[in-house]
Structure 1
Amino acid sequence: MHQSNKFAISIVFCVAAAACGSSPTPAPVSVASTATPIVEPQGVAPPAESGPAESSAATTTTTQAEVSSASGAAGSPLPTTCTPQGTRKACVPDADYAKKLCSAEYPDVALSLFSQGTPFTRAYMTRDVEGWNAGGGRTHRAKLQFDEEVLVVAHRKANANGIVLVAANGDTGSYDVLRWDGSCVSVMAEEITMTKAPKPKRAAIPWRRLEEPTKSTLLAAPKVKAGLDARDKACGGGDDGKCSKAEVAFTGAIADFVRTSKSLPEPTRRP
């Protein structure tokens, strides 16, 4: 065989057999080191619970916070301090925490933040309002009722280049507020007051979405247990009017317990 052909064959054999040279075999690459960031999947809201309060839940987007929660990752500790913001000096949690809080819905966290002894400012709607989430979370609109109780979590300054609406007390801009159901909504400054309503209303608390330790603690209160039984009975009879009233009473029983108790367990799913 010709000498050059022998040399070419030798090279091919050497490459195919991976035996030429003394370089060590490369170490295996960890899958985790090459994984791409989690892309937020599309999902739908959890199944509606009996009763009108949760029967109209719209299709929503599963956020990164919810993906982390589903995989068992714990969030930040619940905040215990606040900073005054806006003309009315509403005491709100840290801005980074508020942003994470409003990136998804956290019903258990809402109950903890509304509970007795927390320093955050409570506010009350001055009218029926159709609000929206402007905090970077789910894009949705929500109807808030006159005298509904909310928790102020952030203040947004008015746009100096646009039309500035001024509240009766001179306040401007908008506020991100947390509802009793764990969702955040943005409202204008004139749409809330810090003066407590005579009979505050609350967004219906999504019972089925609460964690089991929270449910167990709440059901230990006789009024909450009686409220749940009454709601289930009323909403199983096909009378929407009775079901709605029972839902309001049940939410009220939970709110009364939360406002007078410090015994709620720390939520596992946190922002």
Structure 2
Amino acid sequence: MKQTTKYTNQPIGTFGGFRHYVNTATGQYIVAGKGGANKKQLKSNPKLIRSLENSDEWKIVGKWSHQIRMSMSDIIHLAFGDYTAGLNQFAKNLQKMDVESLKGYRLIETSKFKPLLTSINFNIRHPFNKVLVRIPDVITDSQRKTITLNIPGFRACNEIIWPKPYHYFRFSLQIGQISDYIWNESERTYDQQYPDIEHHRVVVRSEWIDRLAGIFDLSLTASFPDEYLPVENATVVVALGIEIGTNETPGTISFKKGDGTMALVACL
């Protein structure tokens, strides 16, 4: 059961057996019930075997989505809307691509489908490909330790499409790592192949640049420290964030939440 009304400062949280939350994309206040069979019922009723399989697999879907967010946590403030639902759906699709494991034990092997991750939309208000006209060039070394992002001959007033006037912009290059999820038979649970790898991340930011700065070669380089050198099956994520700034007060640059966007531009 779900009820939706306009948000007017109603309480948020879980109480009375219902979840109370706000959809940031629509501004709607949502009250949703927690229905369905409990864990004991799922395990004891043969008719619910498919539900049990989905329940077990869904646990790892949420952990995979959390891993993605953590690997880009320095620029995730540039995401907008219920992008987590999109992450969860993407993770479930990856899980379905495992045709070798039995249902209920299917893996999430990101390393086999790296290019697909760049299709994820993290900002429903300002989709990245609607803001930045050109696709950046991404260059890496053989170890995937150092990542360079280039946009030669960049001209902001032509290549950043923003719905309202602005004065400044700033780019942030975030590199991180994510792990495949595998089934641990002895523990009867899913594990990261490389635990806590999502904390191996680095961010590099440009200076604030005037939108009328003219044509220049944009280049950002980020490197993992030696102790974070990517292992063979780890997926290196390359994300780019764009922040939009104004000078509401002379001599200062102001950034407001929502004024920007981000995306995965490469997965290596």
Which range, TM-score by smaller chain? under 0.3
Hey, which of these two has a bigger chunk of helix by percent?
A: 1
Hey, which of these two has a bigger chunk of strand by percent?
A: 2
Q: If you compute each CA radius of gyration, which structure gives the higher value, 1 or 2?
A: 1
